[in-house]
């Protein structure tokens, strides 16, 4: 008899445990992971990501994902762990006794009965495993030959000194197991295993994967391998990670933009969404056939997990990106202007206990950007020369999601000092504050209302009165219509940038700037840009009539103001823009926008550039939504 009201995980845990044993003992189900039960990998990821909650946590205090993990996965691992301590026979006998005697089964009474049957002290282990959130981090650091017996050097850098099983595997595939009492710090484990080095294939801590380990990659030791913790394996991006190998995921990666043309690339990474690592990297070199040169991007990050109640982890990241942002072809010359972006950052992830659907971060970012510009002598093009920009940004981000609603908020403070020309004596500078708030409400089944408010203003700007926007003369301009040419930190991926008079001038961003959907390109920089102040409100709604999922129609309306300096009156003037229409929006990744109404100035400029109805359709492509490493970062 299980007290399902007080301990709802017990019944489902027992069911999962015996089901896993049945499949494992009868070899019916092939597992993709290294464990006998594939869901152990899910539990391991919660420990590694420091998102695991104790089994005794009330289910109404957990979000949906944590409740599922505890009810079906962690509960099964709980029984599997105590099986490794007392054996399957004693575990079965103890549970059968409860069934025969019709005694109420609770975790505490179960462990007390298991203690009597096994003669082992299990209650302190139970309290640590069941009621606390402390983890282990056992490491096999080496082996020694003492009196012709194997002695294993082990370190536990975790908080929890739980007992574990040490497995020695020989080259014939035979396993020998030793149950080791838990400990903290360093210890040399004595075994009676013969020290015949040529016959030892591997030594593994917790082969079953039932410990609350934060890093299983150092639980393995291969005496004969160059890399003692495992081989390097080349695999596809979709494969689940194995902790006893150093995996390098390789994937072909074709790319295209208007300035580099078709590119063929290849991505190298050590992690994927199913393989959480603290140290992650991605390298994507590519070859541009149009410019006959190498381009691409690369980044690496490291998560330092913290042991306090405020900060979950600190992420250190360094990225490099280099493509071409302008392509010129003239009867006299042909060149492509290249940019290089280097972006070191530190991001603090704050803790939100029992709320995986809530995240908040504080980031300090630096953007070191080199851009090539043409040099002329006597009016003739001679070469390309790099100009440098150094931008600092302090940013706070907050996100909370549920089925019925969602909220994201971002606040950023940005600073840059620069010379307008290399020959300039004085430096210009600005300090800019921007904020955006996104709110979603479900008003009917699978139909939502979306509100976005954006505001940006300069606290300091030595070019506040300038009528020049986002170029060498005035930098950091605020844009209601965010496009390739004013994405000056190269955060997003645009088909066209400075040359927005070419074939892809109708791409806009919905995540930066004012969110307007009528791109005018670099030929109309005075509309929607400000060196002083700008605000915008974006409203959209899923079509009120339920449509098939492959027709995700939204109605939208954008309205905003931007402040410009009137030289004749010597005052700032607020200008109003609006546009509205219909969007076809695929999960915020790809969207097409059909504008139907405009403010007068915007309509004249937009229709002047786009004569036909179809040429006025703009689009959004947000490739960051496809970044599975961001899913990893939520763990």
This prediction's pTM: 0.87
The interaxial angle of helices 75-86 and 107-118, nearest 10 deg, is: 10
Cα–Cα distances in angstroms (integers) from residue 346 to residues 229, 310, 487, 617, in the given order: 29, 16, 22, 39
- What average pLDDT is seen over the chain? 88
Q: Which residues is 286 bridged to in the sheet?
A: 265, 295
Instruction: Measure the CA–CA gap between 142 and 158, rounded to whole angstroms.
Output: 18
| Per-residue pLDDT, 431 | 98
| Per-residue pLDDT, 247 | 81
| Per-residue pLDDT, 635 | 41
| Per-residue pLDDT, 499 | 67
How crowded is the C-beta side of 196, counted as CA atoms within 13 Å? 6
Residue range 419-471, pLDDT digits in tens: 888 777 889 999 999 999 999 999 988 899 999 999 999 999 999 999 899 88
String of b and e for 496-514 (b: at least 16 CB within 10 Å)?
Answer: bbbbbeeebbbbbbbbbbb
Cα–Cα distances in angstroms (integers) from residue 317 to residues 56, 200, 276, 326, in the given order: 36, 39, 16, 28
| Per-residue pLDDT, 562 | 96
Instruction: Measure the CA–CA gap between 239 and 86, rounded to whole angstroms.
Output: 34
Low-confidence ranges of the chain (pLDDT < 70): 1-5, 26-33, 131, 237-241, 273-274, 354-356, 499-503, 628, 630-635
| Per-residue pLDDT, 57 | 82
Q: Which two tokens stand for residue 39?
A: 């869901």
Element (H, E) at 293: strand 293-305
Place of tokens 């099964």: 76
Element (H, E) at 339: strand 334-342
Q: CA-based angle 380:423:381, to the nearest 5?
A: 10
**Choices 2.60.40.10, 3.90.1200.10, 1.10.579.10, 2.40.10.120: CATH for 138-229:** 2.60.40.10
Residue range 99-132, pLDDT digits in tens: 888 888 888 889 999 999 999 999 999 888 776 7
Residue range 297-355, pLDDT digits in tens: 999 999 998 878 899 899 999 999 999 999 888 877 889 999 999 999 999 999 887 66
| Per-residue pLDDT, 634 | 46
Where along the chain do its domains lie? Answer: 8-131, 138-229, 402-635
């Amino acid at each position: 008899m299980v007290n399902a009201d007080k301990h709802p995980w017990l019944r489902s845990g027992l069911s999962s445990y015996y089901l896993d044993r049945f499949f494992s003992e009868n070899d019916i189900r092939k597992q993709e992971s290294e464990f006998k039960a594939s869901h152990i990998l899910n539990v391991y990821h919660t420990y590694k990501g420091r998102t695991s909650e104790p089994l005794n946590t009330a289910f109404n205090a957990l979000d949906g994902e944590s409740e599922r993990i505890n009810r079906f996965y962690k509960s099964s691992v709980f029984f599997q762990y105590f099986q490794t301590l007392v054996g399957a026979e004693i575990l079965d006998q103890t549970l059968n006794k409860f069934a025969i005697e019709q005694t109420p089964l609770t975790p505490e009474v179960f462990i007390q009965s298991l203690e009597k049957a096994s003669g082992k002290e299990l209650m302190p282990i139970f309290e640590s495993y069941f009621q606390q959130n402390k983890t282990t981090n056992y490491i096999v650091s080496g082996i020694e030959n003492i009196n012709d017996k194997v002695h294993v050097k082990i370190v536990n850098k975790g908080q929890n000194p739980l007992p574990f099983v040490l497995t020695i595997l020989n080259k014939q595939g035979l396993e020998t197991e030793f149950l080791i009492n838990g400990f903290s710090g360093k210890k040399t484990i004595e075994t009676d295993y013969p020290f015949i080095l040529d016959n030892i294939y591997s030594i593994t801590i917790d082969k079953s994967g039932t410990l609350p380990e934060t890093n299983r990659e150092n639980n393995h030791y291969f005496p004969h391998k160059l890399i003692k913790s495992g081989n390097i394996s080349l695999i596809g991006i979709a494969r689940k990670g194995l902790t006893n190998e150093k995996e390098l995921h390789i994937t072909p990666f074709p790319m295209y933009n208007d300035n580099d043309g078709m590119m063929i690339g290849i991505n190298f990474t050590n992690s994927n969404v199913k393989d959480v690592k603290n140290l992650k990297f991605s390298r994507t070199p590519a070859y541009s056939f149009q410019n006959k040169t190498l381009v691409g991007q690369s980044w690496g990050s490291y998560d330092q997990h913290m042991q306090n109640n405020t900060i979950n982890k600190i992420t250190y990241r360094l990225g490099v990106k280099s493509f071409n942002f302008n392509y010129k072809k003239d009867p006299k010359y042909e060149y492509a202007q290249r940019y290089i972006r280097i972006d070191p950052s530190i991001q603090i992830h704050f803790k939100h206990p029992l709320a995986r659907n809530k995240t908040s971060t504080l980031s300090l970012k630096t953007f070191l950007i080199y851009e090539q510009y043409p040099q002329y002598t006597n009016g003739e093009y001679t070469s390309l020369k790099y100009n440098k920009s150094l931008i600092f940004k302090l940013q706070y981000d907050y996100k909370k999601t549920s089925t019925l609603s969602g909220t994201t908020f971002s606040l950023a403070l940005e600073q840059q000092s620069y010379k307008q020309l290399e020959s300039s004596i004085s430096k210009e500078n600005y300090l800019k504050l921007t904020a955006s708030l996104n709110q979603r409400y479900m008003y009917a089944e699978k139909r939502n209302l979306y509100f976005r408010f954006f505001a940006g203003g300069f606290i300091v700007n030595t070019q506040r009165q300038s009528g020049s926007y986002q170029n060498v003369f005035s930098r950091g301009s605020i844009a209601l219509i965010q496009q390739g040419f004013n994405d000056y930190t190269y955060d997003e991926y645009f088909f066209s940038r400075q040359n927005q008079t070419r074939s892809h001038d109708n791409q806009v961003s919905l995540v930066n700037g004012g969110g307007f959907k009528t791109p005018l390109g670099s030929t109309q920089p005075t509309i929607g840009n400000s060196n002083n102040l700008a605000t915008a409100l974006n409203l959209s709604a899923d079509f009120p009539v339920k449509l098939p999922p492959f027709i995700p129609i939204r109605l939208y309306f954008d309205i905003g103001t931007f402040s410009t300096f009137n030289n004749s009156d010597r005052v700032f003037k607020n200008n109003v823009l609006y546009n509205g229409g219909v969007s076809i929006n695929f999960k915020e990744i790809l969207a097409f926008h059909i504008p139907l109404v405009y403010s007068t100035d915007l309509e004249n400029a937009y229709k002047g550039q786009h004569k036909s109805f179809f040429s006025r359709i703009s689009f959004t492509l947000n490739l960051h939504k496809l970044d599975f490493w961001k899913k990893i970062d939520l763990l």
